[in-house]
Structure formats: structure tokens, C-alpha cells
Amino acid sequence: MSHNTFGHLFRVTTWGESHGPAIGCVVDGCPPRIPLTEADIQPWLDKRRPGQSKYTTQRREPDAVKILSGVFTDADGEQVTTGTPISLMIENVDQRSKDYSAIAESYRPGHADFAYEAKYGIRDPRGGGRSSARETAMRVAAGAVARKVVPGLTVRGALVQVGPHAIDRARWDWDEVDNNDFFCPDAGTAAIWADYLDAVRKAGSSTGAVIEVVAEGLPSGLGAPIYAKLDQDVASALMSINAVKGVEIGAGFASAALSGEENADEMRMGNDGSVRFMSNNAGGILGGISTGQPVVARFAVKPTSSILTPRRTVTRAGTDAEISTKGRHDPCVGIRAVPVGEAMLAITIADHYLRHRAQVGA
């Protein structure tokens, strides 16, 4: 995994800046003969698309994906993958004309501005350039391909905390997730968040969030000791998402306070001859290898630093300054991180599915 490529065998390389002519990715290593059209990808992009409620950034992009390579119509008339690299591209449309001179000269606290400049000695300040969350659109597009690689795999996600307000897990209902603006699985909490985020938005402030993603239907045996553990790569995948500051698997940080008796998931034989786990503190992974239980991961997203309140900073020239964000403003970037987290989990599992098939066979 190097620079702008994620994955070892199912490899996703993304490119593009927020305000360049386009963004794109190359998906390499995808198995052949998988049905794939733009219609398989577009719905996931639509789910992530900004500007769909007042709680996310108002940038308006159709985010229409094009497949530029790697597919062909087979003898049955179906468009399928050919095993060659799949190039996906989205043209940038709404690069709103704007004066970037302020942020070109001052580093926004909490943004990547200072670090990019320290590393490269140059950065594209328009919309955050490469560090913009716009890049995550291509993760979602690649994730749509990944979802088709592992037979039987389902990957879902939900927002489980906004600011200090966590959901009531006892009321978790997957069907609720698409019924509100927050991918919230608990209708009651969704209402609380709506009020909370209205206040945050009006104050020109922002808040953090926690997202949970769950993969079901994957086989046991995915992952490998010692440095290709499935949970290790899930952590890498999720921590690579913009603004993420923490990742946990299964019981996660809470496991620190558990006893050995409480934590270990006991097993019994099921009536169908398969092994049943009596709990899932492991989050579906033991020794870095999937057990067949659902893989459960959570990640924390910090509040965006693009807020209306002026903050103290410094300039490229080395003087003290103040800066505040103008224009489009996103009170909770964690909302749109849900489909992105799903995509990264799907990509990681697809990659490990191919890796497992290499070493152990189908």
C-alpha cells in the first residue's frame, strides 16, 4: 500500500483534486466475468452525494460516473469485467468560482494545509485540493465494484453517535437507516440529532460523529498472520478516511474493562452442524482471521474545522493571523462518512478474499 493505492490484490488507485477537471480511480485485479455497468455504481454515489439535506455541504455535483475501461459485452450480451484495469471517472462540475487567496496564505487549523505545505512545499488550496473529502467519491465507486467480488457479502453502515448523542442500540433497526437524513438506525435518536445539528449549523459550528459498519456473509478464513490481519487492514482502511481519529473492532475500547470471562465469545455446535458463537465481542475476527461471524467496526470522525468562528493561525510567511470559513459549510462530516466507511470495508474484504484464494484456494 503506497501513496494513493489501497489494497494488495484488489487494488484501488485514486487521483484528482477537488477543483481539478475530474477525479477518478483505477481498480486493478478485479476478477473477470463479473457483471458491471455504471448503473451498479451510481446508486452508491448518489447515497454519498453532497447537498441532499441541510445537514451536509451544499456543493451540488451530479457525480455521474463513467467506466472508461475494463469491461466488455460477453456472448450473452451482458457487460462484464474482463480482468483488466477498470478506470472510473467523475467530472467535476461545481467547482464554484471563489477567492482562495486567504487559505492559500494562511493554514486553516485542523486542516491538512500546514502538513501538505510542510511536506511538499506546495499545495492546491482550491477546495482543499487532494485532501478534500471529494476523493471519497472514488472510494464509494470502487466499493461498489468490491461489493460484487465476494459472493454473498453484504456491507451496511449506520451513524451511531453525533456529538454527545449516541443511539439506543436496543432500538437498532436497519430499515430506519434510509428513513432519515443521518443514516441513523434509531428513529428516536434521529429526531434528537436533527435538533442538535440545527443548532450546530446555525451557530456556524460543527460536531464529530461515530459510524458503525458491518459486513455479513463473508467466509471464515479471511485475513492472515501476522501483518496482513483482517482487522489490521480494516483499521488501515477506515483510518485512511478524512477526519477519522479512531477505529475499533467488536467490543473495541470497551474490551479493556472486561474480564476474560466476559470477553471471550463462547461456542456451541448449531443444529445445522456449523459452529455458533454465543456473542460477538471479537467483531468477527480472531487472530486476525475472520470467523464467519459479522465483521463489526466503528470509527470516530472529528468535527470539521471549517467553522464560521475565527481561529488563530499562522501564515505561510510566518506571521500570526486569524481565519474563518466562508461559504459552504458542513456541520457534521460524519454523516457522509457512512457510505465511505461501507466502501472501505467492502474493498478490504474483497482484497482479503482474493488473498485468501491465492494461498488456500477457492
Quick one: 54 or 245, whose CB is closer to a second copy? 245
Q: Is residue 10 within 8 Å of residue 27, measured between CB atoms?
A: yes
313 is in an annotated binding site: no
User: Minimum Å distance from CB 154 to a second copy?
Assistant: 20
- Mark residues 230-269: x for contact with a second copy by CB under 8 A, - for none: -xxxxxx-xxx-x-xxxxxxxxxxxxxxxxxxxxxxxxxx
Quick one: 144 or 241, whose CB is closer to a second copy? 241
Residues 6+ apart with CB under 8 A from 170: none
Taking CB under 8 A as the criterion, which residues in 34-63 touch a second copy?
Answer: none
Options 44-52, 53-61, 179-187, 284-292: segment touching a second copy (CB under 8 A): 284-292
Q: Does 164 bind a second copy (CB under 8 A)?
A: yes
Taking CB under 8 A as the criterion, which residues in 81-100 touch a second copy?
Answer: 82-87
Taking CB under 8 A as the criterion, which residues in 5-34 touch a second copy?
Answer: 5-6, 8-9, 11, 13-17, 20-24, 26, 28-33
- The distance from CA 43 to its chain's CA centroid, rounded to whole angstroms, is 16
Q: Does 201 bind a second copy (CB under 8 A)?
A: no
Rounded CA-CA distance 62/84 in Å is: 27
User: Minimum Å distance from CB 172 to a second copy?
Assistant: 18
Quick one: 27 or 155, whose CB is closer to a second copy? 27
Q: Does 122 bind a second copy (CB under 8 A)?
A: yes
305 is in an annotated binding site: yes
Options 38-46, 57-65, 174-182, 225-233: segment touching a second copy (CB under 8 A): 225-233
What is the DSSP code string of 158-189? EEEEETTEE--GGG--GGGGGGSTT--S-HHH
- Is residue 59 packed enough to be buried (19+ CB in 10 Å), middle (13-18) or exposed (0-12)? buried
Quick one: 175 or 225, whose CB is closer to a second copy? 225
Quick one: 175 or 249, whose CB is closer to a second copy? 249
- The distance from CA 225 to its chain's CA centroid, rounded to whole angstroms, is 25
- Binder of a second copy out of 140, 145, 177, 300 (CB under 8 A): 300
Nearest to 236 by CA among 332, 352, 121, 129: 352
Cα dist. 61→68, 92, 127, 164, 312 in Å? 20, 7, 14, 31, 32
DSSP element (H, E) containing 342: helix 337-360
Options 55-63, 94-102, 176-184, 349-357: segment touching a second copy (CB under 8 A): 349-357
Kindly report the backbone phi and psi dihedral angles of residue 278, in degrees, each rounded to the nearest multiple of 5, phi listed first. Answer: -90, -5
Peptide bond into 349 cis (omega under 30): no
- Known binding positions for FMN: 130-132, 242-243, 287, 302-306, 328
- Known binding positions for NADP(+): 48, 54
